Structure 1
Amino acid sequence: PIGMVWDAADYSCGYDSTLGIFANIWLHNPDLWSERFCTIGPYFLYWTLLLRQFGVGQTTIEGARDSMRARMHNARPNDFPYGQRGTTIDRIARLVL
């Protein structure tokens, strides 16, 4: 399994755990899970694109996480702040699922 390096400046715990689970599922069969993830919604479509970039070495898993986090922050800055406030797994799940 892959894991993400925690971002201590911009608390990333919720993103690391939630997105890390989906990244590890995707790694077992990228073609199958890309197809399935893309049907869930726009955030999973974006996460799939980032995972594909990770899969071919165009980004790190932390870079993918940070890009996904930026998109979530732009949509709902109060729910997905930067800095040492962090967010919760349920907020992430409610947005992406």
Structure 2
Amino acid sequence: MQPALIGRPVGMLWDSADYSCEYDTTLGILANMWLHNMDLWSERFCTIGPYFLYWTLLLRRTDAGQLSLEGARDSMRARMHTARPNDFPYGPNGTSIDRIARVLL
């Protein structure tokens, strides 16, 4: 993350074409937790499961300036969609925070 963002909550720009609200909310909270203590949350996230491990890798790329937070969200969303397209569709049908949380955990 850019040094100016440290200490401030970060969020993602909404994708109005594919309705990213649920992802923005859930992944935004996790990104802010991770930013607060990257080492601690990297260790904890990596032990929860494969999606948290992947999210940690994406956050590290974001922190290194290699990927935007929106790009990280979109990569995570694509992975969820590939695994479970009916639960994680693109477009106005969307998904729910509950579904995202269940897959993450």
Which bracket does the TM-score occupy, shorter chain normalised? over 0.9
Identity of paired residues, percent? 78
Matched, 1:32 2:48: no
Residues of 2 paired with 1:57 and 1:40: CA distance?
25
Residues of 2 paired with 1:47 and 1:11: CA distance?
20
Corresponding letter in the other structure for 2:97: I
Q: How many residues align?
A: 97
Matched, 1:48 2:50: no
* CA offset digits 1:23-81 (Å, max 9, x no partner): 00000111111011000000000000000000110000000000000000000000000
- How large is the Cα RMSD of the aligned pairs? 0.4
Residues of 2 paired with 1:3 and 1:60: CA distance?
11
Residues of 2 paired with 1:9 and 1:35: CA distance?
34
Residues of 1 paired with 2:17 and 2:92: CA distance?
7
Gaps of 5+ in 1: none
Residues of 2 paired with 1:87 and 1:17: CA distance?
12
Residues of 2 paired with 1:21 and 1:83: CA distance?
22
Shift of 1:83: 1.1
Gaps of 5+ in 2: 1-8
- The normalised TM-score by structure 1 is 0.99
**2:90 corresponds to which of 79, 82, 86:** 82
Structure (1 or 2) with the larger CA radius of gyration: 2
**1:19 corresponds to which of 15, 22, 27:** 27
Residues of 1 paired with 2:28 and 2:14: CA distance?
11
Corresponding letter in the other structure for 1:8: S
